[in-house]
Structure 1
Amino acid sequence: RALNKLREFVEFTGEVENVSIHRLLVLDEKHLAIRLVPRHLYRLWRMAKEEGKDLDVGIAIGVHPAIMLAAASSPPFGVSEYRIANELLDKKLRLVQCKSVDAYVPSEAELVLEGRISHKKEVLEGPLADITGTYDVQRMQPVVEIVNISHRENYIYQALLPGGPEHRLLMGLPREVAIYEAVSRVVPNIKAVNLSEGGCGWLHAIISIEKQTEGDAKNAILAAFVAHGSLKHVIVVDADIDVYDLKSVEWALATRFQADEDLIMIRNIHGSTLDPSANQESGLTTKLGIDATKPLSKPQEGFHRAHIPLTPKAKRIIKLLKRKGTI
């Protein structure tokens, strides 16, 4: 059956609308299991559950990247991610109302599954791979009953590969922004934030700052943990260190870090349940912060890389080799 009520995006009118990305386990032709992390959709489901009602959802597959980014941005509860997507699309987002459920989906979606998240039925979900590239633990999760399917002719099924670059980008990019904003409130000058590839784009953050006083790096570490609750390890470096060059970051660790003074360890704190080394039932983990910035109490020139001076002859040879494309 076709979707109806094509409309231009309008201002949010007061009802809580949430747009987010979730993994779905196919149970049979009409039922899915949905992973609900305790965030906005989980909150809406709990509200419906308390009223003894199922929660209507529209599952849109194959949408514009701006909608994906907006859905991954996690704005405050009550702010519709569609509004964010509309701004990213220069106010050209068009939505359609689902035929069988009370939900709106992007008009240009390739495939739409209309369903209801049961307030009663739960099943064992998983094991499924996630952003770490490892299998997440199995949990009891709600069941989605599919009541209608609509699609374009010759539609394209778009899927995220678990732990792939697109997965890490969508999850990590909004958190980098959140970390940047949080750290900028406690440190005068922040240069860059990188949720590193080796940290799965989720568990490890490298932050560069212009250090003004002792303690700036530790304040940055604590602010980062608050901004992104799933962070496990944070490294703070000086502005002369490229946060995307891991050899440079390791050099800072080797030459500017002392474990007895520059290490912060926080035990038994909630982290990411996707980390297989953590308690994946309770979410408790140990977090580590590393201050790899130069101590201001020592002469700063002692922490600079040495440069070999070039003679005029050496400069001419290098210039010649560059001209020939040798180097």
Structure 2
Amino acid sequence: MSKKKVRDLRSALELLQSIDGQLVETDVEVDPLGELSGVYRHVGAGGTVMRPTQEGPAMIFNHVKGHPGARVAIGLLASRRRVGYLLDCEPQKLGFLLKDSVNNPIKPVVIPHEQAKCQEVKYFADDPDFDIRKLVPAPTNTLEDAGPYITLGMCYASSPETGESDVTIHRMCFQSKDEISIFLQPGARHIGYFRELAEAKGEALPISISIGVDPAIEIASCFEAPTTPLGYDELQVAGAIRNEPVELVECLTINERAIANAEYVIEGEILPGKRIREDIHSNTGKAMPEFPGYCGPANPELPIIKVKAVTTRKNPIMQTCIGPSEEHVSMAGIPTEASILTMVDKAMPGKLQNVYCASSGGGKYIAVMQFKKSVPSDEGRQRQAALLAFSAFAELKHVFLVDEDVDPFDMKDVMWAMTTRFQADLDLITIPGVQCHPLDPSNQPEYSAHIRARGVACKAIFDCTVPFDQKARFERAKFMDVDPKCWLPDMLK
């Protein structure tokens, strides 16, 4: 699709600049305290952000209040079509691209310090003027947030026992000039496990945070087990997407590596036995907007990263996202699509045609699975496919099953199928009392006395497929297949 080679944030922005309607920028000063996200909400946030919002271009703010010379980019991945441009793939085939990339990993390589663009400028925490809040223009999404958050930081750490490494994205809030809180959901990410191992030994866990990287890395970092089990470095997936290894560099102050062409790198250690209340400065009880569209509750005690250094490229560009935006749908949803495709194809090859983790579920709660019934014995196997998806992904709440004549990426078409091919007393399958996601406010005991614990709730399958023996009754109206460009050459490109 694309002609320009994308390997870092800057080349990604250059590509988008060459495509009409994919990137805008402004020289008007913006306040990172709520205002920046407030502006982009209207420009292109989409996702589960409170309306009015829309899918629109990525945006660069060239003047950020309190940060002379700093620029902030937002929304690079807030459009599936734009992700297609950035990964050089048709949007409907992104799940297949990632599926193939997981199966053909390319290991990262380490390059010398003098070649690492992320270390062109260096700041060390032992300098009395060091203050991460001044060095890194991290926005505050809403005025109720616990503080400025890093929302697109590629956290890289290694097991203190095996040396195996992992890259993931976590919620991180600036708490002082050299301290950052980090939210590690129990059992959900490997870096959390690495921290537990280190803390059990009374040791700090070295960690690097790379901000402003190749979008392929941001997408790949969101893979989870069982697709990428403990010991599988997701940077290998990014390498496979680009067909060349991701370049790393040794950090300057800790025993860890960082992404060599990142715009910013924060070097630090997760301290053993140290905790901080997430909203200690705001006292709002809220953290930041999360992917379901609500503000996540502030955690009463989170691990602390003690910052040792910040290194940057010359004239670095901060990258951020709005938690509930379409950007989260792209990063969380597309890897999940790839994982479901892999799992179901192993059990029943050729039956699952495509998967879409819809925007309304934030990329995590909803999956639309397009299933093809070819023979009478396929009846019922579509529900088995849904159960396979649920068994692997605890966060998945609703699965919509549709036939091959329904576009899974068009929720209007999915709702049409649900309206005309679904009867709730026959085709709704509920699975109560199973692990779901703790950030869904309806998955709480306060919502219903039947919910025993936070996050333990009900999953559902909406089987909107036609019974195999009745396919003739549900055939869609057929229209002439013509090329409309003959009549509207300028409008349809």
Shorter-chain TM-score range: 0.7 to 0.9
Cα distance in 2 for partners of 1:324, 1:147 equals: 59
Give, as a single letter, the amino acid of the residue that structure 1 aligns with 2:292: T
2:232 pairs, out of 51, 67, 79, with: 79
Cα displacement (A) at 1:131: 1.3
TM-score, normalised by the number of residues in structure 2 = 0.59
2:289 aligns to what?
129
Given that residues 354 and 369 in structure 2 are in contact (C-alpha distance below 8 angstroms), is that contact kept between their aligned partners in structure 1?
yes
1:142 aligns to what?
303
Given that residues 96 and 106 in structure 1 are in contact (C-alpha distance below 8 angstroms), is that contact kept between their aligned partners in structure 2?
yes
Given that residues 326 and 362 in structure 2 are in contact (C-alpha distance below 8 angstroms), is that contact kept between their aligned partners in structure 1?
no
2:354 aligns to what?
192
Computing the radius of gyration over CA atoms, which structure comes out larger, 1 or 2?
1
Cα displacement (A) at 1:296: 2.6
CA 1:113–1:23 in structure 2 vs 1: closer, same or farther (change >3 Å)? same
1:255 matches 2:420: yes
1:289 matches 2:289: no
1:102 aligns to what?
255
Given that residues 57 and 103 in structure 1 are in contact (C-alpha distance below 8 angstroms), is that contact kept between their aligned partners in structure 2?
yes
CA 1:120–1:246 in structure 2 vs 1: closer, same or farther (change >3 Å)? same
TM-score, normalised by the number of residues in structure 1 = 0.87
Unaligned runs of 5+ in 2: 1-110, 117-157, 279-285, 446-452
Give 3-state SS (helix, strand or coil) of 1:83's partner: helix
Give 3-state SS (helix, strand or coil) of 2:240's partner: helix
Given that residues 180 and 193 in structure 1 are in contact (C-alpha distance below 8 angstroms), is that contact kept between their aligned partners in structure 2?
yes
Give, as a single letter, the amino acid of the residue that structure 2 aligns with 1:20: T
> CA offsets, 1:262-304, max 9 Å, x none?
221111211112212112973212111111111134x322111
1:223 aligns to what?
388
Cα displacement (A) at 1:144: 0.9
Give, as a single letter, the amino acid of the residue that structure 1 aligns with 2:438: T
Given that residues 136 and 276 in structure 1 are in contact (C-alpha distance below 8 angstroms), is that contact kept between their aligned partners in structure 2?
no
Given that residues 8 and 95 in structure 1 are in contact (C-alpha distance below 8 angstroms), is that contact kept between their aligned partners in structure 2?
no
CA 1:284–1:124 in structure 2 vs 1: closer, same or farther (change >3 Å)? farther
Unaligned runs of 5+ in 1: none
Given that residues 264 and 311 in structure 2 are in contact (C-alpha distance below 8 angstroms), is that contact kept between their aligned partners in structure 1?
yes
- RMSD of equivalent CA atoms: 2.9
> CA offsets, 1:62-81, max 9 Å, x none?
11112212222232111122
CA 1:7–1:70 in structure 2 vs 1: closer, same or farther (change >3 Å)? farther
Cα distance in 2 for partners of 1:175, 1:263 equals: 23
2:344 pairs, out of 163, 183, 191, with: 183
1:174 pairs, out of 331, 335, 346, with: 335
> After the TM superposition, which residues 203-214 of structure 1 pair with which residues of structure 2 at under 5 Å, given as runs?
203-211=365-373, 212=375, 213-214=378-379
**More off after superposition, 183-192 vs 153-162:** 183-192
> CA offsets, 1:60-100, max 9 Å, x none?
11111122122222321111223333333333432111111
Q: Which has the bigger relative contact order, CA under 8 A and spacing at least 6?
A: 2
Give, as a single letter, the amino acid of the residue that structure 2 aligns with 1:290: F
Give, as a single letter, the amino acid of the residue that structure 1 aligns with 2:176: D
1:155 pairs, out of 313, 316, 326, with: 316
> CA offsets, 1:198-239, max 9 Å, x none?
222221111111124221121011011123221111010111
Cα distance in 2 for partners of 1:323, 1:88 equals: 38
Cα displacement (A) at 1:251: 1.9
Cα distance in 1 for partners of 2:342, 2:364 equals: 17
1:278 matches 2:447: no
1:6 matches 2:168: no
Given that residues 7 and 96 in structure 1 are in contact (C-alpha distance below 8 angstroms), is that contact kept between their aligned partners in structure 2?
no
Give 3-state SS (helix, strand or coil) of 1:112's partner: strand
Cα distance in 2 for partners of 1:81, 1:282 equals: 30
Given that residues 229 and 271 in structure 1 are in contact (C-alpha distance below 8 angstroms), is that contact kept between their aligned partners in structure 2?
yes
What number of residue pairs does the alignment pair up? 314
Cα displacement (A) at 1:48: 0.8
Cα displacement (A) at 1:321: 12
Give 3-state SS (helix, strand or coil) of 1:241's partner: coil
Cα distance in 2 for partners of 1:320, 1:60 equals: 46
Cα displacement (A) at 1:252: 1.5
Give, as a single letter, the amino acid of the residue that structure 2 aligns with 1:58: S
